[in-house]
Amino acid sequence: EVSTGFSAFRIDTGPGSQELASFSWHRGGVKIAKVDAQAGAGEQGDASLEGAEFAIVNASGMSSYVDGRSYADGETVMTISTSWDGSAYTAQTAADALPCGTYRIVEANAPEGYLPWEGELEFAIESDGQIVDLSGDPVQDDAIRGGVQVTKADAELGESEAVGGNGHAADGVGTTLSGIEFTITNASENKVLVGDAWYEPGEAVAAIETEWDEEIGSYIAKTAPDALPYGTYTIQETATNDSYLLTDGEPRAFEIRTDGLVVTADAEGGELAFYNQVVRNDLKLSKKAADTN
């Protein structure tokens, strides 16, 4: 078996005998960088670029001898992970980790809050001590993104129906739970990209309004399923309509952790339902005689 970067040949030492002679081989390494596809070297929300794992795969067409073991063509010879080097998140082997040869590098495990990179990079070790630096073209990961949905309910009925409701019509006569505004605020460790703008922690990132959802059978307000990057947020009622009082305006915390999931529960697992008191007034009548007024 001849490893990458290693030469072997037989020497005729006399009638009927041969012995194997060999050279030691040159070795090198590789360096790669990881960035957020939108935020660059920084992270967004609660996501972290720390700990992304990259697999280095032998692509030399022959075996590769790494760290005391022989790996066939197509096998992963080692895994490296990202850490902060003072200016970027990088992963790097030792300078003598890989024998001369050709390799592919793929992402084996994405870091927290990010979708895995599905590409691959090929590189070659050609001289002793060579570090192939791929960090100039860093691997870009997209943040996990999700959404949120809240339910608006009547405090007296205890359900998502309006007292004296207008049959759910947007322009009907009578009370309605439509048109009530909720504001979403960034409560993550870092800024987040929502729409086309960046929002720092503590800033409002979006506002949504309630409307009747026939399929669900409730008055709801929701974002798109990819509106919010991986992070922590609060949502609270910030404006009501002329049918209901703003009696449930406390913020509720929720987390985006699964790509494409519209969250319907708060961070403690409770339902994101807000109950309001319907507007009530009094009626006063006076009775008088027709002939004496």
Domains identified in the chain, total number: 2
pLDDT tens digits, residue range 168-227?
A: 876 666 789 999 999 999 999 999 999 999 999 999 999 999 999 999 999 999 999 999
Parent domain of 229: 145-276
Q: Tell me: pLDDT of 6 over 80.
A: no
Cα angle for residues 84, 233, 246 (degrees, 5° grid): 165
**Residue range 11-15: mean pLDDT, rounded:** 69
CATH number of the CATH domain containing 68: 2.60.40.10
Same domain, 98 and 124: yes
d(CA 30, CA 28): 7
Same domain, 137 and 162: no
Of 91, 125, 141, the residue at which a domain comes to its end is 141
Strands 27-36 and 139-141: parallel
Split at pLDDT 50, 70, 90, the class of 37 is very high
Same domain, 150 and 271: yes
3-state class (DSSP) for residue 80? strand
End-to-end CA distance of the chain: 119
Q: What is the pLDDT of residue 18?
A: 64
Q: Which among 41, 2, 32, 52 has a CA at the least distance from the CA of 104?
A: 32
**Residue for token pair 């703008």:** 197
pLDDT tens digits, residue range 115-145?
A: 999 999 999 999 889 999 999 999 999 999 9
Best mean pLDDT range from 11-25, 153-167, 259-273: 259-273
Of 117, 141, 165, the residue at which a domain comes to its end is 141
Same domain, 78 and 186: no
Same domain, 207 and 105: no
pLDDT tens digits, residue range 70-97?
A: 999 999 999 999 999 989 999 999 999 9
